[in-house]
Amino acid sequence: MVLSVLLLGMGTAYYEAPRLLQKQMKRELIAFSAFLLIGMALALALALDWPIPNPTRTIEFIFRPLERVIYPQ
């Protein structure tokens, strides 16, 4: 499973990166690389059965104080 995730990620980069470099789209290449690395890291974590943090908890942590200000009890 890990090998397939790595191969798919490398294949995607091999397919897309030369086109972006050829068209001199450096910002798009940076964004593409960042999202590809994040996606591969999450896919590898899933393949290895590592715990993945829940983004909902982070959003609640950020907005809970704001909610208390808007809707005081």
Nearest to 13 by CA among 45, 44, 41, 36: 36
Specify the pLDDT at position 53: 84
Span 31-49, pLDDT tens digits: 999 999 999 999 999 999 9
| pLDDT-derived band at 3, boundaries 50, 70, 90 | very high
